[in-house]
């Protein structure tokens, strides 16, 4: 924290950032831009994306470290626990960071960076962007990892009240340490079309990753039925993923090539041009903590039809959205209701959601985190023991090894500084700036 006691030096950490597209990526980018406007220093740390490796500067002077780690699965880096410590430590010291802010429970880099930051005594904040269950193997594993990360943290943020309840139940943390700060939408970028579309042909837009969690299988059943009931309806489907094949097969099976347009992956800069070509936005997600996509659609003047899941009912007022259960027949009924409600809605997103407001509320969370007392390793270990009979002991062992690794890194730098200096020069020239060679 700077001398005036109000400015923070923040490191945003996540596996998910531009040039990848998604809700988490947009959240980190827009939040960082607004925090920079408020006078804070913000640095982003993520893994390399293709040839994009090293230090880059994006809009507003936002500094991004694309560390030379390649994605392993679903844009996540391979879990290493300790191998990321030297790079994380270097960035924390060089940028004089005061708060480390990790995003997304599924991000490996986020969990490891928060662990290393706590070992070094930094304040940490975590934002959860997704909902997870409690029964399947994947959720059980992720919930235990989240319990480990949040056993020793300062503050947490969730993007909806439903997400907050879910995170508290999964991690066992105190609700008093969790803030609800929603997502927002860039209303300057997502504006309605200046000309109102004719309702002679109703266009329904779908823009989503075509995966199971986003309800792609639900679309396969809903689209043919809607086309059968409403001859004047046409679909535009943007997005890519493993379920795209099923949608292509459905289009062939029902001979809907002239009524279902498949766009493939849509760059974020072109999302508005796709949205304003439609009347209704259809979201079929099976789980959703918030949903920036329906905010963007509503800001462009579209009426939204969405599944009633997670935090979606909290996002828009009743006159701007039609909710349905995640079942084909109920989704078709909701689409029929939305068609009857056309010709449209009055977009008021600028009054409802603002990134400047999100940044100010996040600033309060940082202030609260900085007020928490400093603790040493012996005071922190009992918190990990509460994570389970066997898991608690394992977590304690991991943190002890991490602490010893930190002591080793400190010792080496103090006693072998010339070697570390030349190693750093090599690292910067060969890893952080590979394009220079």
SS3 per-residue string spanning the chain: CCCCCCCCEEEEECCCCCCCCCHHHHHHHHHHHHHHHCCCEEEEEEECECCECEEEEEHHHEEEEEECCCEEECCEECCCCCCCHHHHHHHHHHCCCCEEEEECCCCHHHHHHHHHHHHCCCEEEEEECCCCCCCCHHHHHHHHHHHHHCCCCCEEEECCHHHHHHHHHHHCCCHHHEEECCCCCCCCCCCCCCCCCCCCCEEEEEECCCCHHHCHHHHHHHHHHHHHHCCCEEEEEECCCCCHHHHHHHHHHCCCCCCEEEEECCCHHHHHHHHCCCCEEEECCCCCCCCHHHHHHHHCCCEEEEECCCCHHHCCCHHHEEEECCCHHHHHHHHHHHHHHCCCCCCCHHHHCCHHHHHHHHHHHHHHHHCCCCCCHHHHHHHHHCCCCCHHHHHHHHHHHHHHHHHHHHHHHHHCHHHHHHHHHHHHHHHHCHHHC
> pLDDT (tens digit, 9 = 90+) per residue, 320-349?
899 999 999 999 999 999 999 886 555 555
Q: Is the pLDDT of residue 433 over 80?
A: no
**Residue predicted with more confidence, 199 or 78:** 78
Distances (CA, A) of 24 to 21, 374, 437: 8, 30, 32
Rounded to two decimals, what is the model's pTM?
0.85
pLDDT of residue 37: 95
pLDDT of residue 437: 43
Q: Is the pLDDT of residue 2 over 60?
A: no
> pLDDT (tens digit, 9 = 90+) per residue, 149-179?
999 999 999 999 999 999 999 998 999 999 9
pLDDT of residue 4: 46
| pLDDT cut 70: percent of the chain above it | 92
pLDDT of residue 187: 80
pLDDT of residue 188: 83
Ordered by where they begin, the domains of the chain are: 9-184+357-436 (3.40.50.2000), 202-352 (3.40.50.2000)
Q: Is the pLDDT of residue 414 over 80?
A: no
> pLDDT (tens digit, 9 = 90+) per residue, 9-67?
999 999 999 888 788 999 999 999 999 999 999 999 999 998 899 999 998 899 999 99
């Amino acid at each position: 924290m700077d001398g005036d006691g109000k400015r923070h030096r923040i490191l945003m950490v996540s596996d998910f950032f531009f040039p990848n597209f998604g809700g988490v990526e947009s959240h980190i980018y827009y939040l960082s831009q607004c925090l920079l406007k408020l006078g804070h220093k913000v640095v982003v740390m993520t893994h390399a994306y293709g040839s994009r490796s090293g230090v880059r500067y994006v809009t507003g002077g936002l500094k991004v470290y694309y560390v030379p780690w390649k994605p392993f699965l679903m844009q996540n880096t391979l879990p290493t626990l300790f191998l990321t410590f030297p790079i994380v430590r270097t960035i924390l010291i060089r940028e004089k960071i005061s708060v480390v802010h990790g995003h997304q429970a599924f991000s490996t880099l986020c969990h490891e960076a928060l662990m290393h930051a706590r070992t070094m005594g930094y304040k940490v904040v975590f934002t959860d962007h997704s909902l997870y269950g409690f029964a399947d193997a994947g959720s059980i594993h992720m919930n235990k990892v989240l319990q480990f990360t949040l056993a020793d943290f300062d503050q947490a943020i969730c993007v909806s009240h439903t997400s907050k309840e879910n995170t508290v139940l999964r991690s066992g943390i105190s609700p008093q340490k969790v803030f609800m700060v929603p997502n927002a939408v860039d209303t300057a970028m997502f504006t309605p079309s200046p000309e109102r579309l004719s309702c002679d042909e109703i266009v329904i837009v779908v823009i989503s990753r075509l995966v199971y969690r986003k309800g792609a299988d639900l679309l396969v059943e809903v689209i043919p039925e809607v086309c059968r009931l409403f001859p004047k309806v046409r679909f535009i489907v943007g997005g890519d993923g493993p379920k795209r094949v099923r949608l292509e097969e459905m289009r062939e099976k029902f001979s809907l090539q002239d009524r279902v347009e498949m766009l493939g992956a849509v760059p974020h800069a072109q999302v508005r041009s796709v949205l304003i070509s439609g009347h209704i936005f259809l979201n079929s997600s099976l789980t959703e903590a918030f949903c920036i996509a329906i905010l963007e659609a509503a800001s462009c003047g579209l009426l939204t039809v969405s599944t009633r899941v997670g935090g979606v009912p909290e996002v828009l007022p009743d006159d701007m959205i039609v909710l349905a259960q995640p079942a084909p027949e109920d989704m078709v009924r909701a689409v029929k209701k939305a068609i009857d409600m056309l010709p449209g809605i009055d977009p008021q997103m600028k009054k409802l959601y603002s990134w400047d407001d999100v940044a100010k509320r996040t600033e309060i969370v940082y202030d609260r985190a900085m007020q928490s007392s400093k603790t040493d390793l012996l005071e922190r270990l009992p918190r990990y023991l509460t994570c389970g009979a066997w898991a608690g002991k394992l977590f304690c062992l991991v943190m002890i090894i991490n602490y010893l690794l930190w002591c080793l890194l400190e010792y080496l730098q103090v006693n072998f500084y010339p070697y570390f200096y030349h190693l750093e020069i090599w690292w910067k020239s060969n890893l952080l700036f590979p394009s220079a060679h």
